[in-house]
Amino acid sequence: MKIDLIIKNIGKLVTMENSFFPRIGNQMNELTILENAYIAVAQGKIFQVGVGDEYKKLIGENTKVDDVGGKLVTPGLIDSHTHLVHGGSRENEFSKKLNGVPYIQILQEGGGILSTVNATKEATFDELYNKAKKSLDRMVEFGVTTVESKSGYGLDLETEIKQLEVAHKLNEDHPIDLVHTFLGAHAVPVEYKNNPKAYIELLVKEIMPKIKEMNLAEFCDVFCEEGVFSVEESEYILKNAKDMGYKLKIHADEIAPIGGAELAAKLGCISADHLMAASDKGLEDMAGGNVIANILPGTSFNLNKPSANARKMIDLNVALSLSSDYNPGSCPSENLQFVMQLGCLNLKMTPNEVLTAVTINAAHCIDRSREIGSIEVGKKADIAVFDAPNMEYLMYHFGINHIDKVYKDGVLVVNNKHVVY
């Protein structure tokens, strides 16, 4: 086998190996860390992982050797919950929020999610593409190599298709791999305000089948929340989605404990996301049903609201992942490293737990654990090189970008913190 790349002189290599299932409880802390390690890459995949100078016998005529000078190396980070493709921005609401104007009033004044829906409808394909590409460049510069991308700012067939087609084009063009989720049940459009059942029927009978027929989305998601979609409505939508061949996700119990977590377990969702208000019963059901809790601490931080109870979830053996929730309203930030730091500072997770939550558990969260999320032979050579001596330093020195280099499929795409693809 011709070896294309060897990354050597790795100070600490965190492998996340042997994680055939999402890590739970104490497993999130029990990591394999190799010192003075190397990674050999062939044809975009990891060929060998070892320590010392065993790599020397693998060097061929055209092998590139990268000496990383004792730095920390991890699997490429995975952002498993984003609203990547959208039009416009909402900084005009920022001072209103700071002055205590409630979200419902901002919504009534034409702001909130509805302003993003309008901006996304009005934006051209190229405008959405260029805006999202800029965000992906930021994400990869923070060490992210795979991103889940939701629709949900169209709330009609034409715009939902446009959002998803933009994401597919970005997946073709950008080094980051995108995973596609349909979120038509993100809100009830204004024109259906007095007849939400008609919109739900439109979703189930027309939009969702068409999206599936066009093969634009792998997952279906619903915003199950008080005043948005009830548990009964969410169950109806998701059951139909499952019958159409979608894998299931759910925005659950962000504001009120209405039973979204319990529903996630009942339906076998891969993940339930947010969960700041989830009940103990809901979390216990999730643990029993192997549903991953996808926690979004950047959103809680930005809204100045209490975070989800990650420690309780870990104690209950609920698998946990962390993601950015990048969106123009509640979390306008592409910085997954900051989310990791909030995982320690606000969620009281250990650095080991946090790194597990943005690598192998995040891979399970998007059903990609066989390809990414760990440094193991045969997996994609998605590799983050941090200018840090250890994981603790990543979390301790907050607010900066620790990335030195990023490899995607064995190709250098970030060098000295900047994209080079």
Q: Which pLDDT tens digit goes with each residue over 210-247?
A: 999 999 999 999 999 988 999 999 999 999 999 999 99
Q: What angle do CA 201, 293, 235 make, to 5 degrees?
A: 20
Same-domain status, 9 and 62? yes
Same-domain status, 344 and 390? no
Residue at which a domain ends, from 365, 388, 404: 365
**CATH no. for residue 341?**
3.20.20.140
Same-domain status, 328 and 400? no
Average pLDDT on 148-156 reads: 97
Same-domain status, 116 and 142? yes
Same-domain status, 384 and 410? yes
Provide the number of structural domains found in the chain: 2
User: C-alpha distances in angstroms, 221 versus 33, 140, 187?
Assistant: 35, 25, 12
Residue at which a domain ends, from 345, 365, 385: 365
Same-domain status, 302 and 177? yes
Please give the share of the chain, as a percent, with pLDDT higher than 70. 100
Residue at which a domain ends, from 365, 382, 410: 365
Same-domain status, 137 and 17? no
pTM here is 0.98
Please give the share of the chain, as a percent, with pLDDT higher than 90. 93
**CATH no. for residue 384?**
2.30.40.10
Same-domain status, 334 and 394? no
Same-domain status, 67 and 126? no
Contact 182, 208 (CB under 8 A): yes
Same-domain status, 188 and 82? yes
Query: Which residue range(s) make up the domain with 66?
Result: 5-76+374-419
Q: What is the predicted pLDDT for the residue at 306?
A: 94
267 residue type, one letter: L
136-145: pLDDT as tens digits: 999 999 999 9
pLDDT of 208 over the 90 cut: yes
Same-domain status, 392 and 275? no
Q: How confident is the model at residue 111 (pLDDT cuts 50, 70, 90)?
A: confident
Same-domain status, 58 and 39? yes
Contact 387, 55 (CB under 8 A): no
Q: How far apart (Å, rounded) are the C-alpha atoms in residues 244 and 242?
A: 5
Average pLDDT, whole number, for the chain? 97
